[in-house]
A and B are shown apart, each in its own frame.
Chain A
Amino acid sequence: MKDAFGTPQSLLVLGGTSEIGLATARRLVARRTRTVWLAGRPSPGLEKAAAGLRELGADVRTVAFDALDSESHEAVLGKIFAEGDIDMVLLAFGILGDQARDEDEPLSAVRVAQTNYTGAVSAGLVCARSLQAQGHGALVVLSSVAGERARRTNFIYGSSKAGLDAFAQGLGDALHGTGVHVMVVRPGFVRSKMTAGLEEAPMATTPEAVAEAIETGLRRRSETVWVPGALRVVMSALRHVPRAVFRRLPV
């Protein structure tokens, strides 16, 4: 059960090796979280992540979960919820893809879209139903500023996040008044292994900073969280820049 500050006692991370997901889990375990489920494709990395959280004192369990296998979501996630209330679901899975290659190989572009969007739609809806039955809980969805306006340099990833973002906002409205809180998190460029080797964008942030923003958002029951917060202003300006100019911007 969450406390007055929205801090959960049990957490399910979908995308159990996500650096933002794990930074958030570490932060919440330091507060109130005792039970953590890490859902992801079975790998040594997933087990290592679980071990790291166990060292902090959490009761951690891993579960095999594949975002691309939508048909399995109902069964896999249903089993987790059957074990007890989940106070917070962090939808953290996602892949960046490789824009240049994805433009050449439509199938790999589709994989980006299916992971980030279709996978999230099915997992999000399955979790939403269980949370609604509980009468409480938070569904935190990791979106991205890349979804705010498509850019030449990463519009395949960006469009998948745009879809996810719109889906999560709508879901939040659908669940308004059910006790379930949907929070859309829009980080800017996050320094992590997913972005290793990429040129850093302005206002870059870290998984820890995103985790902190998530904790604050839970306390405030925010619906949208930008990380860093100033991105909200920047993006609302960029949204109105004419296409001809936007196309040429070095972002």
Chain B
Amino acid sequence: MATPETVSVSGWGRTAPSTARLIRPRSPEEAVAALEACGERGGIARGLGRAYGDAAQNAGGAVLDMTGMDRIHAIDADAGTVLCDAGVSLHHLMEVLLPLGWFVPVTPGTRYVTVGGAIGTDIHGKNHHGSGSFSRHVMAVELLTADGEVRAVESGTPLFDATAGGMGLTGVILAATLQLQPVETSLMTVDTERATDLDDLMARLTATDHRYRYSVAWIDLLARGASMGRAVLTRGDHAPLDALPPRARRDPLAFRPGRLPAAPDFLPEGLLGRKSVGLFNELWYRKAPRLRVGELQKMSTFFHPLDGVPHWNRVYGRGGFVQYQFVVGYGKEEALRRIVRRISDRGCPSFLAVLKRFGEGDPGWLSFPMPGWTLALDIPANLPGLGVFLDELDEEVAASDGRVYLAKDSRLRPEMLAAMYPRLDDFRALRADLDPRGLFRSDLSRRLAL
């Protein structure tokens, strides 16, 4: 294990950086040693740093870079399970598992997250309405807790449910056993359609979402008036072998995501203003077909379009950006309409806004999903008055018994947390019991008094 170096760490949104000692364990033994070296400001595990806010930073303390633990230990190609280190990325899993006819059970909008991070934030994907969150497909984890012990934690136990979505605060996930999704090909059959406004969008999603394994809608939050909430729905499933043209059938499980050059680091702020994003949104909406059925797309195009541009987060410039994602339950459509109208009236330049319907809630105590509508959007952090505006949206969300997503949060008012996460007290009690000295700490846990 190399001697820790002090580095500046921030989330994917590049706001609020802080410095910490970066320790990169390469084995469970080194992870135990790293824990002992954390010091009085504690430590937190970090994966590939895709959480938008301050979840994987720990000012003045230690950050455990888990990407050094990146081995896949065992694959059961008949049962479709894999045992791997927490630092393995979903990208790597796809590379290894697709040729065997298996796919990750849940993938977010990027492949560049680690298994540990996926469990710690209990990520969801476009298949949440049918398949639930990532942790629902995790059979067990190996968890290094504050007492230095490595525990085998089975799904369905309180410690597992606290760890799933627990933001790394119950311990360091060292390894996990996942249940995989069988696929015949590495292509997707995708139906694309346009929705002319928010009501049309919600109606279309409600009526036919159950027919698709994967469903998401890109929404134009800058559109106003009659076209407010206009959207492009892309929904689909893994293509069966017989859907492929003969040439593609020769290598149906090929996984070759393309990559463009990385975004440069010197882009000015304010590149993404209301005008440029408005133009982008207009073009994006117009270019989408009114209705197209059964198009074959690469997995990377369907699931991870942004992964094609490494460091795409730099387009927001040095000031970074804030990602806001909330969910409000079914029956609270009026609140969703009000929020979309407020965002549209204010002209928040957001080009990565997506709306999705969630299925049943997940067992994780701090898991984000609940049955309802979830909207995610990015906003440049230097937008004047943004802090107050988002606080107002929080009020609206909390009043509708909704919540915001901690993996994306970088600014929530701590007082809002208890209303949004009813099992917060259980989580705090478990942590007080398991980690009385507060060894596991992050900037997020400090900010929100988690």
What string of 1s and 0s marks CB contacts (under 8 Å) between B43-55 and chain A?
0000000000110
- B25-69 contact mask (Cβ, 8 Å, vs A): 1 or 0: 000000000000000010000000000011000111100000000
A179 contacts B17, C-beta separation under 8 Å: yes
Q: Once the chains bind, are A179 and B387 in contact (CB under 8 Å)?
A: no
**Contact, CB under 8 Å: A136 / B387:** no
Report whether A3 and B387 are in contact in the complex, using a CB–CB cutoff of 8 Å: yes
Is A3 a contact partner of B411 (Cβ separation < 8 A)? yes
Enumerate chain A residues within 8 angstroms of B388, measured Cβ to Cβ. Answer: 31
The B-contacting residues of A in range 1-39, CB under 8 angstroms, are 1-7, 9, 31-32
Output the least CB separation between A161 and chain B (Å): 29
Q: In the complex, are the beta carbons of A7 and B387 less than 8 A apart?
A: yes
A135 near B20 with CB under 8 A, answer: yes
A7→B279 CA distance, assembly (Å):
32
CA distance A134 to B59 in the complex (A): 6
Q: In the complex the two chains form, is A1's CB within 8 Å of B387's CB?
A: no
Asked if A31 meets B18 with Cβ closer than 8 Å, knowing A134-B59, A134-B60, the reply is no
| Interface CB pairs A-B, < 8 A, 27 | A1-B59, A2-B16, A2-B447, A3-B16, A3-B387, A3-B410, A4-B381, A4-B387, A5-B386, A9-B414, A31-B388, A85-B59, A134-B41, A134-B60, A135-B18, A135-B19, A135-B20, A135-B58, A135-B61, A136-B18, A178-B19, A179-B18, A179-B59, A216-B384, A219-B381, A219-B382, A220-B382
In chain B, positions 384-399 with a C-beta closer than 8 Å to chain A are 384, 386-388
Which residues of the partner chain A approach B140 to less than 8 Å between Cβ atoms? Answer: none
Q: Please pick, from A5, A32, A177, A221, the residue contacting B19 in the complex, using a CB distance under 8 A.
A: A177
The docked-state distance in angstroms from the alpha carbon of A9 to that of B60 is 17
Flag if A4 contacts B15 (CB, 8 Å): yes
Give the distance to chain A from B271, nearest Cβ to Cβ, in Å: 16
Q: Does B13 contact A (CB under 8 A)?
A: yes
Q: Is the CB of A5 within 8 A of B60?
A: no
Q: Are B16 and A31 closer than 8 Å at their CB atoms?
A: no
A3: chain B residues at CB < 8 Å are 16, 387, 410-411, 447
Check B60 against A32 for contact (C-beta < 8 Å): no
What 8 A-B pairs are tightest by C-beta distance, nearest first? A135-B60, A135-B59, A179-B19, A4-B410, A136-B59, A1-B447, A4-B15, A136-B18
> In angstroms, how far is the closest chain B Cβ from the Cβ of A113?
34
In the bound complex, do residue B59 and residue A5 qualify as a contact, i.e. CB atoms below 8 Å apart?
A: no
A-B pair number, CB within 8 angstroms: 72
Given A32-B413, A135-B41, A179-B59, are A4 and B16 also a contact pair (CB < 8 Å)?
yes
A1 B410 Cβ-Cβ under 8 A: no
In the complex, what's the smallest C-beta–C-beta distance from B65 to chain A, in angstroms?
16
In the assembled complex, the Cα of A179 lies from the Cα of B54 at a distance in Å of 13
What are the interface flags for A194-225 relative to B under an 8 Å C-beta threshold, 1 for contact and 0 otherwise?
A: 00000000000000000000001001110000
Which of B19, B53, B318 is most buried by chain A, counting CB atoms within 10 A of its CB?
B19
Kindly state whether residue B122 has any CB partner on chain A within 8 Å: no
Q: How far is the CB of A163 from chain B (nearest CB, A)?
A: 28
List of B residues within 8 angstroms of A177 by Cβ: 8, 19
Given the complex, which residues of B lie within 8 Å of A1, measured CB to CB?
54, 59, 443, 446-447
CB-contacts of B7-23 with A (<8 A):
8, 13, 15-20
Say yes or no for B109: interface residue by CB 8 A criterion. Answer: no
A2-B443 Cα distance, complex, nearest whole Å: 9
Bound: A134/B54 CA distance, A: 15
- CB contacts under 8 Å to A, within B47-101, are 53-54, 58-61
Cα A219 to Cα B414 with chains together (Å): 19
Residues of A with C-beta under 8 A to B20: 135
Residues of B with Cβ closer than 8 Å to A? 6, 8, 13, 15-20, 41, 53-54, 58-61, 318-320, 322, 381-382, 384, 386-388, 410-411, 413-414, 443, 446-447
B58 to chain A, nearest CB (A): 8
Cα–Cα distance between A78 and B318 once the two chains are bound (Å): 33
A75 to B281, CA, bound (A): 57
Describe B's contact surface by its main secondary structure.
loop
Q: Which of A4, A9, A32, A135 contacts B13 (CB 8 A)?
A: A4
CB neighbors of B among A165-202 (8 A) = 177-179
Among A133, A135, A177, A178, the one with the most B-chain Cβ atoms within 10 Å of its Cβ is A135
Which of the four size classes fits the interface of chain A?
20 to 34
Alpha-carbon distance between A6 and B19 when the two chains are bound, in angstroms: 15
Q: Which residue of B lies closest to A181 (CB)?
A: B17
Separation of A2 and B53 alpha carbons in the complex (Å):
11
Alpha-carbon distance between A38 and B412 when the two chains are bound, in angstroms: 26
CB-nearest residue of chain A relative to B412? A3
Q: Once the chains are docked, how many angstroms separate the CA of A4 from the CA of B411?
A: 6
Give A248 to B331 CA distance when docked, in angstroms: 73
Query: Other CB < 8 Å A-B pairs besides A4-B387, A177-B8, A216-B384, 20 of them?
Result: A1-B59, A3-B387, A4-B13, A4-B15, A4-B410, A4-B411, A5-B411, A6-B16, A9-B414, A134-B41, A134-B59, A135-B19, A135-B20, A136-B59, A136-B60, A136-B443, A177-B19, A178-B19, A219-B382, A221-B318
Of listed A4, A32, A135, A219, residue having the most chain B CB within 10 A:
A4
Q: A4-B322, A220-B319 are in contact. Are A136 and B447 (CB under 8 A)?
A: no
Q: Which residues in B have their C-beta under 8 angstroms from that of A9?
A: 414, 447
A32 to B386 Cα, complex, angstroms: 14
Shortest Cβ gap from B449 to chain A (Å)? 9
Which residues of B lie under 8 Å from residue A221 when comparing CB positions?
318-319
Shortest A128–chain B CB gap in Å is: 14
**Of all chain B residues, which has the CB nearest A2?**
B16
| Complex: chain B residue closest to A216, CB-CB | B384
Who on chain A is nearest to B447 by CB?
A1
When distances are taken between beta carbons in the complex, the residues of chain A under 8 Å from B446 are 1, 85
Whether the pair A4, B60 counts as a contact (CB closer than 8 A) is no
Which A residues lie within 8 Å of B8 (CB)?
177, 179
Q: Which partner residue on chain A sits nearest B53 by CB separation? A: A4
Q: How far is the CA of A9 from the CA of B6 in the complex (A)?
A: 24
A203 to B207, CA, bound (A): 62
Determine the chain A residues whose CB is within 8 A of the CB of B16 once the complex forms: 2-4, 6, 136
Complex Cα distance A7/B413, Å?
Answer: 11
Return chain B residues, CB-CB under 8 Å to A219: 381-382, 387
The CA-CA distance from A199 to B20 in the complex, in Å, is 49
* CA A179 to CA B59, docked complex, whole Å: 8
How close is B140's CB to chain A, nearest CB, in angstroms? 33
Bound: A134/B41 CA distance, A: 8
CB distance from B384 to the nearest CB of A (A): 8
